[in-house]
Amino acid sequence: MIPVESVNIFKAAIALLKDPANIAKTTGEVMVQSIGSTTKDEFQFGEAFAANFLGHYLLLKELEGVLEKTTKLLKDENRGWEGARVIWLTSDTAEHHMFDPNDIMCLKGAYPYESSKRLIELIHLETAARLREKGIYSVVANPGISATDVMKGTVPTWLILVALYFFRFCFLPAVCITPFNASRSEAYLAIEVTDPNELNPKTVYQSDVTFWGTSRVRKLVLRREGVMDCSADVCTNGNVDLTKIREEVDAIYNRVKKVSA
């Protein structure tokens, strides 16, 4: 969900001329998003935060115990069960500088969509090891670029398709065009990888297509820019403390759970 209000055609043209290979990463600069948009309920969460991240995290928290018990039960019964899988969806636009650890809902920032996608990556980085100890494999997929109704009413569909085919014929990566091709990475992680031990939590599995439209999956390194990494008493200069981010998100989860109980 992207709260798009308009598209800055001038910035889009500049981005295309300056760095066409990374045009997907500049959409945050090109799309003008509504700032401070919140859910229409008592919580008043950031709209993009709630739609793109919070609902998914709440589902994981509610099912985590069930997934752990099911994994243990089926392993004990020797049914060949290798563990549950949690597949997060990120985006090329999830640039680290678009996420503010002091405003995780991005109520004040100009990039609520990008912020929510970067938050997904950060929570995955924080929880993947703990989940794996429970037999739950956390991985990150990236659907690439496809024609959806995200900008419906802002940019004509035919123009989006023309632009996407132009990008593909310029050999730009991950221009999937159709949602079917975009879902390739999720299907790959869910059913094509039979041994979950092959799943790398430090990798982003991105949907991609060849010049002729054949779908495939690319493996990219999950970026850690801005993340505070500590060893003993020494920490890097990153401004994102993963533990604090997870604690803040858990506090939100507990708040929702208390109200809905």
User: Domains, the chain, ranges and CATH?
Assistant: 4-260 (3.40.50)
Please give the single-letter amino acid code of residue 102: N
Nearest 5°: CA angle at 139, between 67 and 59? 45
Query: Contact 209/217 with Cβ under 8 angstroms?
Result: no
The SS3 assignment for 43 reads coil
Q: Which residues sit opposite 32 in a β-bridge?
A: 6
* 128 contacts: CB under 8 Å, gap ≥ 6: 138, 201
The DSSP element (H or E) to which 205 belongs, if any, is strand 203-209
* 153 contacts: CB under 8 Å, gap ≥ 6: none
Query: Contact 206/198 with Cβ under 8 angstroms?
Result: no
Which pLDDT tens digits describe the chain residue by residue (261 residues)? 677 666 666 666 666 666 665 655 566 666 777 888 999 988 999 999 999 999 999 999 999 999 998 888 877 776 666 778 999 999 988 889 899 999 999 999 989 999 999 999 999 999 999 999 998 999 999 999 888 877 666 777 888 788 888 878 877 788 898 999 999 999 999 999 988 889 999 999 999 998 888 899 999 999 888 888 766 566 677 888 999 999 999 999 999 998 877
Please give the single-letter amino acid code of residue 41: D
Query: Contact 207/182 with Cβ under 8 angstroms?
Result: yes
Smallest Cα–Cα separation from 111: which of 220, 36, 59?
Answer: 36
Distance, CA of 246 to CA of 223 (rounded, Å): 18
The confidence score (pLDDT) of residue 170 equals: 77
The confidence score (pLDDT) of residue 153 equals: 66
Q: What's the helix, strand, coil split of the chain in %, to 5? A: 50, 20, 35
Q: How many CB atoms within 10 Å of residue 197? A: 10
Output b/e per residue, 2-24; b: 16+ Cβ within 10 A: bbbeeeeeeebeebbeeeeeebb
The SS3 assignment for 151 reads coil
The confidence score (pLDDT) of residue 35 equals: 86
pTM for this prediction: 0.87
Q: Locate tokens 């109980």: which residue?
A: 261
